[in-house]
Amino acid sequence: MARSMWKGAIQFGLVTIPVKLYLATESRPGVSFNMLHAEDLSRIQMKIFCPVEDEIISRTDTVKGYEYAPDKYVVITDEDLEKLPLKTVRSIEIEQFVDSAEAESQTRFVKQAYYLEPDRVGRKAFALLKDVLADKGLTAICKIVIRDREVLAALDPFDNTMLLSTLYWPDEIRALGELDIPTEEIELKPAEKQMAAQLIEAMTGTFDPAAYRDEYREALMQVIESKIEGRETVEVAPAEEPTKLVDLMAALQASVNAATSAREARTGRPVSVTEAKEQRAAKGKAAAKETKAAFKTGDAEGERPARRRKTA
């Protein structure tokens, strides 16, 4: 069963909605390695060492310290953190509501996502807030303290609950000016844009996350299993070296051909919008012919399809 990692309340004006936070995502463990001594392959142990006492100490003998000057520290306890004069220590303080489309462009840099679970006494108020946000197309901008740090967050309706996405503060987001991005306008030929659009269309489809997997992990596990069983290490085919971009149109055309072939092999020949309309029109004509034929058959046999009686 999932365990909540934060318990508090949403502060919505004078309304208090008790909730719990649950991590909405989890990182699957990768292939981890232990540090070994090269001489005897014994596992290396990491110890907490005190240079003043010249001895190894237990983690329980440690405290939190803030360095306010070189080698000068002040100890901060859990009690000190609990006494902080901030409402956001145990509450999600809604600061304002903004249009969701507008908020989307400002909330792209997400740290972590959390599901919200309302306590029984707050379920009606929780549902009310969620439904109004959905009906109005709004996002709630709020603040909350998580792991000894106040963070900015966005609160949105999500399925039958709400999703809290913690964000980076504006001064934590790097400016684009740090990158070497050309400022002059690049001239694009109509034919190049049309070919690029064809490539994108050939690669467009329904996103199915289940169709993707961690191929690096699979290849690494093959190597590990081969070594455990004493077999020769499986050699993974090297990735193809990217070709030098000499002719953009030629590269686009080759890409379109490759993408189209791959799509045909995966789902059959792609049908364009025009072809789809023609197919629907053909089906409509065929259905009309069948209906007409049914009427003629009924006349020939002395029967006609029953006519609906008009109602007032």
156, pLDDT greater than 80: yes
Q: From CA 130, how far away is CA 115, in angstroms rounded?
A: 13
pLDDT for 154 equals: 96
| Per-residue pLDDT reduced to its tens digit, 90-148 | 889 999 999 999 888 888 899 999 999 999 999 999 999 999 999 999 999 999 988 87
Q: What average pLDDT is seen over the chain?
A: 82
pLDDT for 312 equals: 40
Report the run of H or E that residue 289 belongs to, with start and end: helix 273-300
Residue 134 structure tokens: 């959905």
Q: From CA 223, how far away is CA 260, in angstroms rounded?
A: 34
Rg (CA), the chain: 32
C-alpha torsion 220→226→229→230, nearest 10: -130
- Per the CB < 8 A criterion, the answer to whether 22 and 115 are in contact is yes
pLDDT for 12 equals: 84
242, pLDDT greater than 70: no
Mean pLDDT lowest for which of 60-64, 141-145, 239-243, 253-257? 239-243
- Per the listing, tokens 């034929």 go with 293
pLDDT (mean) for 50-79: 90
Q: From CA 21, how far away is CA 164, in angstroms rounded?
A: 8
Torsion angles phi and psi, residue 128, rounded to 5: -65, -50
97, β-bridge pairs: 140
Provide the residue ranges of all domains of the chain, joining segments of one domain with +. 6-26+83-172, 187-202+249-291
To the question of pTM greater than 0.75 for the whole model, the response is: no
Half-sphere exposure of 133 (CA within 13 A, CB side): 27
3-class DSSP state of 220: helix
6, β-bridge pairs: 21
| Per-residue pLDDT reduced to its tens digit, 225-237 | 888 887 665 565 6
First to last CA, the chain: 60
pLDDT (mean) for 213-223: 83
pLDDT for 276 equals: 55
Q: From CA 90, how far away is CA 8, in angstroms rounded?
A: 5
Residue 225 structure tokens: 């299993």
- How does residue 221 score in pLDDT terms, banded at 50, 70 and 90? confident
Residue 246 structure tokens: 């000499």
pLDDT for 187 equals: 87
CATH 2.40.290.10 fits 6-26+83-172, yes or no: yes
Give the percent of the chain with pLDDT over 90.
30
Alpha helices in 53-158 (DSSP H): 78-82, 100-106, 123-136
- Per the CB < 8 A criterion, the answer to whether 47 and 53 are in contact is no
Residue 177 structure tokens: 């000016």
Q: From CA 141, how far away is CA 34, in angstroms rounded?
A: 43
Residues 6+ apart with CB under 8 A from 87: 11, 93
- Give the residue, 26 or 271, on which the prediction is more confident: 26
